[in-house]
Amino acid sequence: MKYWLSFWLLILAPTIKASCLDSVSNEYIVTKVFVSSRTVNTQIPGMLSDESLQKSNKVISRERVKYENNSSTNATCFFDLNTESLLLNYNVDKFTLTPSHTILLDNYLMYLKNKQLEGTLMISGHADSSGTEQYNKILSENRAKQVASYLSDRVEQSLKIEDKGFGENVPVCEEELNIISGCNRRVVIEFMTN
């Protein structure tokens, strides 16, 4: 468990975690959170001591990119400013886009358009382990295809779209955390330069 927590913190360290849209100001919010931990090993004759020192999360920067939100709905997502990738979470056994998803995708496309980027959007669908392996593979493919279909109608010609479903084979969190947050039920949209 200790190692999974460390792995999870390392994965999220450069990641922006937010509701992606501020419901008060209707702005697209980017918040970078720095997560750190340190282990001190002390060895004296006949003894070895390990002590883990955990510092609390510290916000090191906050940037607001203003995009208008025309809906009061909201969805949990993650946006990584370094890789310009977006992660959308899903409810159990669902693959259709919610109104919140479409707002987030529209804002993501506007962000990419404003940056005048050329490349490929890699869309990967994922599922948790609550169904059979075969069912989860199909569910993850449907999630990726729904996002790809939505984006293909709206994307600039300078961006190509590729999609793939991974089923339950690439979890990012343990089952207990997935039950609470749905972190394994997701679609990840990654921007890649050609």
pTM (whole model) above 0.85 = no
Contact assessment for residue 184 and residue 178, using Cβ atoms and an 8 Å cutoff: yes
Q: How many residues does the chain have?
A: 194
Question: In the prediction, which pLDDT does 15 show?
Answer: 39
In our burial notation (b when 16+ CB lie closer than 10 A, e otherwise), range 148-159 reads bebbeeebeeeb
| Cα–Cα distance measured from residue 67 to residue 84, given in angstroms and rounded to the nearest whole number | 16
DSSP-derived letter for residue 153 is T
* Domain count across the chain: 1
Question: In the prediction, which pLDDT does 160 show?
Answer: 93
**For position 23, which CATH number holds?**
3.30.1330.60
How far is CA 23 from its chain centroid?
Answer: 19
Q: Where are the beta strands (DSSP E) in 90-183?
A: 119-126, 159-165
Contact assessment for residue 13 and residue 35, using Cβ atoms and an 8 Å cutoff: yes
Return the closest-CA partner of residue 173 out of 161, 157, 185, 159.
Answer: 185
Range of 142's domain? 2-192
Question: In the prediction, which pLDDT does 31 show?
Answer: 40
Contact assessment for residue 57 and residue 16, using Cβ atoms and an 8 Å cutoff: no
Q: How many CB atoms lie within 10 A of CB 86?
A: 26
Per-residue model confidence as pLDDT tens for the chain (194 residues): 444 443 443 344 443 333 454 444 444 444 443 444 444 455 555 555 555 555 544 444 444 444 443 333 345 678 877 788 899 999 999 999 999 899 899 988 888 888 888 889 999 999 999 989 999 999 999 999 999 999 998 988 888 999 999 999 999 988 888 887 788 999 999 988 87
